[in-house]
Structures are given as C-alpha cells and as structure tokens.
Amino acid sequence: MKSSGADGKPTSQRTETRLVTAGRDRDAQKGFVNPAVFHGSTVLYPTAEDLHAHRAEYTYGRHGSPTTRALQDVMMALEGPQCAGVGIAPSGLAAISTTLLSVTKAGDHILVCDNVYRPSRNFCNGVLARYGVETTYFDPQIGAAIEKLFKPNTKAVLVEAPGSQTFEMPDIPAIAEVAHARGALVIDDNTWATPLFHRSLELGVDISMQAATKYIGGHSDIMFGTISANAKAWPMVAETIRLLGVCAGPDDVFLALRGTRTLAVRLAQHHRSGLEMARWLAARPEVARVLHPGLESDPGHAIWKRDFTGASGLFSIVLEPVPQKAVDALLDTVTLFGMGFSWGGFESLIIPFDCEGYRTATKWSPGGPALRLHIGLENVDDLKADLDRGFAALKAAQ
C-alpha cells in the first residue's frame, strides 16, 4: 500500500506518524507546516443560492473552521478507525457534561464509577438530577457484576480508567459487554492514558473523551476538551454540541493541535519517569503504598497490562501515618513539585487529597495521608533529590 505523507490519510502509517501527518493540507496552508488560526464568526456565501442552500464548506464560526478541522483530523487519526467524529469543547468538564446530556433524557438512569473525576460527579448530582436523570455509583472494580445494577431505563455507563486520585482500574471490556447487551452506551473519560496508550473505542467504548487541558495540550496553558464517538453515538453527540452551542476559541484549538504533534514523545517520557519515580517511592520507608496500575503489585496491574500500552505520569501515594504539619512541611520544602490542580503539563506537581467525604459506593480509608503526584519532564534524579529534601523536612516536623 502506498502511503502519502502529510495529508493523504493513509491507513498504513502508525499512530506516532499520523500524529505528525494528519490534519495537514499543504495547499490550504500555502506551504506552511501549520494551519492558520481562523478567528471568525461570519462566513460569507458567494451567491444567494448558496446562502439559501447553506452550501459552503464552513457555515458559521461556532460550527468549525479549517483550524478546528485540522485538530479533529488528528484526533480521528489518534482514536483509530472506530472513531466517526470528534467534538470540541471549551474544557474537559464541558466535554463530559455535553456527553452526558447527549445520551440522557428525563426519566433515564446512568451508572457512574465511584472514582470518577469529582466535578463529573457534581454534574450528575447537580444538573442531571435536576433534569430527572438518576445516577447510581458503582465500585470501579465491579467487573461483569455491574449487571445487577442495571435498570430497564439505564442508558449509559461512565468509566474512568484508572479513576481520579485513587487509580483503581475498571475492566472496560467486561463492563462494555454487559452494557451493550442491555442497550446502554459506554462512555470513557480517557484523559489519563490518552488514546495513545488506551484505545477506548476499540475496547468497546462508544464515547471517549479527553480533558485536553492535560496531555493533549501538554503545556498547562489551555483549557480544552474533546469528545470522540463511534458511528452509533456520534449523531447524538454532534446534535447536542450544535444545540448547546459548544465550541472553543481558535487560539486554544491551535495550541491543542500543536500539543498533539509532540504527544507521543512527551507521553513516552512521562511513562518512563512516572514508573521510575513510582518504584523509587515504593521503596521509601515513609511511603506505605503507591497507587499506580503500572506497578506489578497494583490490584489493577493485570487489566492495565491487557488493555493499555503505557502509563502517563500521574499516580498517588499513601504515606505512613504522620501529622498534617509534617505533610505540609514536605509540601513547603519541595520546589520542583508545584502545588496546584490539573496535570498533564511538562512540569511536576504534588497535591494532598482525601476522597472519604464524597465517595458513596466504596470506602476510602487509606490509613495515612495521601498525595497525588504528576511526574513532569524534569530529570528524574533532580526529582528524587527534591523529594529527598521533602522527606527530610517531613521527618524533622514530626
């Protein structure tokens, strides 16, 4: 098979290559490697006849531009052949809320994993409940036993693999088999692994979304979301995007597109450094447990090995019991690990967390303070030295 580089949409190229070649139209870009950033609302129609027929490649700013088309083409290539369309949202949370509004109506029921991103839970308990959609949370490790939670009106199952903060790993193919037998759709918040390391749509997921704020953007400089759907689900998602008026600013679209070009090399490094730091932390006397599905000791490891081709740089640790002031001393001492929310940028981050107050299907009682780390692209020896100083401060403060 002949493969034609930037932009002939060949099928024989590997994903890393498609991340570089997809979404590039040499002629439309006047020879430049990257597309123009189209700032636009109005699109002019050449004739009255065209206007009456809405006949134009682009019809209105909200509905897309050559810049959004380029990003959608790259995301399609990244998701694989099951992907029938990609929607763009102004944040990861907007991608989730738009997705959930696409698949539900008043009187419906959905199943959501208990370790879902907390604002997703707040959306279900807030907006969906207000519009008459009931949510049941389930233990992410439930597997095929999810069957018993289905009701006649269950329309969708939302999973996150691995889940936020605590990184339990759901068995997506097992859950998808049950859901599809019951006529429900499966939605996967695939932000942690990205489609590069976890091919959601090939594992039975119908709608896979990204908080592209994280690894797709990759530089902590945008808020962005994407919704990728298979042929069954895409018409619902596309219609809801249109009805809600969901879109994103062109500069952020461009930065998301730029992020995709280097996604493969960045993620490969996050994978390596993340695992090395996880192993180093697992051997520390101050650390009781490391929550990282890439570690052989992790309860989710077998599923991770089966369903994933890599791990990103985000995981958590549980410390041996120490007073809060000792944890704070660690946090105030480290300098390469910044304290702040979000993740997926080039820089390392650390935050304390506690899920005890809001999980409902599982009980979180780790037995010591918990910290979530994002391992950035710094040299791992520098990161270890930084944490070494942090642990010394923790010890001194006890």
Ligand X SMILES: *Cc1c(COP(=O)(O)O)cnc(C)c1O
Question: 273 vs 277, 284, 287, 294, 369, CA distance in Å?
Answer: 6, 17, 18, 12, 23
Residues paired with 142 in a beta bridge: none
Contact criterion met (CB below 8 Å) for 140 and 115 = yes
Q: Which lies closer to ligand X via its Cβ, residue 117 or residue 337?
A: 117
Catalytic residue among 24, 114, 117, 252, which?
117
Closest approach of ligand X to the CB of residue 116, in Å: 8
For ligand X, the binding residue among 213, 228, 230, 260 (CB under 6 A) is: 213
Stretch touching ligand X by CB under 6 A, among 211-219, 248-256, 294-302, 360-368: 211-219
Catalytic status, residue 272: no
Closest-CB residue for ligand X?
A: 92
User: Can you tell me the distance from the alpha carbon of 350 to that of 336, in angstroms, rounded to the nearest whole number?
Assistant: 9
Residues 222-251 that bind ligand X (CB under 6 A): 223, 225
- Using DSSP bridges, classify how beta strands 185-189 and 207-210 pair: parallel, antiparallel or unpaired: parallel
Tokens of 167: 């990184």
Tokens of 84: 């029938």
Q: Which lies closer to ligand X via its Cβ, residue 21 or residue 135?
A: 135
User: Can you tell me the distance from the alpha carbon of 180 to that of 204, in angstroms, rounded to the nearest whole number?
Assistant: 9
- Using DSSP bridges, classify how beta strands 287-291 and 349-353 pair: parallel, antiparallel or unpaired: unpaired
Residue 87 phi, psi (nearest 5): -100, 150
Q: Which lies closer to ligand X via its Cβ, residue 18 or residue 372?
A: 372
Catalytic status, residue 171: no
> Does position 188 bind ligand X by CB under 6 A?
no
The reply to whether omega before 195 is within 30° of 0 (cis) is: no
Contact criterion met (CB below 8 Å) for 70 and 257 = yes
Q: Nearest to residue 248, comparing CAs of 79, 98, 390, 125?
A: 98
Catalytic status, residue 117: yes
Helix (H) or strand (E) holding 210: strand 207-210
Tokens of 278: 């996880």
Closest approach of ligand X to the CB of residue 42, in Å: 29
Contact criterion met (CB below 8 Å) for 49 and 42 = no
Write the secondary structure of 315-329 as one string of H (helix), E (strand) and C (coil). Answer: EEEEECCCCHHHHHH
Q: Which lies closer to ligand X via its Cβ, residue 67 or residue 91?
A: 91
Tokens of 102: 């696409």
Q: Nearest to residue 81, comparing CAs of 18, 142, 21?
A: 18
Instruction: Look up residue 361 and give its DSSP letter.
Output: S
Q: Which lies closer to ligand X via its Cβ, residue 66 or residue 217?
A: 217
Q: Which lies closer to ligand X via its Cβ, residue 256 or residue 383?
A: 256
Catalytic residue among 121, 155, 199, 214, which?
214
Residues 36-95 that bind ligand X (CB under 6 A): 91-93
Number of residues that bind ligand X (CB under 6 A): 14
Q: Residues 251-290: x/- map of binding to ligand X (CB under 6 A)?
A: ----------------------------------------
Closest approach of ligand X to the CB of residue 4, in Å: 35
> Does position 164 bind ligand X by CB under 6 A?
yes
Radius of gyration from C-alpha coordinates of the chain: 22
Q: Which lies closer to ligand X via its Cβ, residue 73 or residue 189?
A: 189
> Does position 117 bind ligand X by CB under 6 A?
yes
Catalytic residue among 73, 171, 189, 252, which?
189
Question: 312 vs 3, 25, 304, 350, CA distance in Å?
Answer: 30, 31, 12, 15
Residues 369-398 that bind ligand X (CB under 6 A): none
Q: Residues 307-346: x/- map of binding to ligand X (CB under 6 A)?
A: -----------------------------------x----
Stretch touching ligand X by CB under 6 A, among 11-19, 52-60, 206-214, 361-369: 206-214
Contact criterion met (CB below 8 Å) for 35 and 54 = no
Catalytic status, residue 232: no
Q: Which lies closer to ligand X via its Cβ, residue 223 or residue 233?
A: 223
Q: Residues 93-112: x/- map of binding to ligand X (CB under 6 A)?
A: x-------------------
For ligand X, the binding residue among 79, 114, 160, 298 (CB under 6 A) is: 160
Residues that bind ligand X (CB under 6 A): 91-93, 117, 160, 164, 189, 191, 211, 213-214, 223, 225, 342
Active site residues: 62, 117, 189, 214
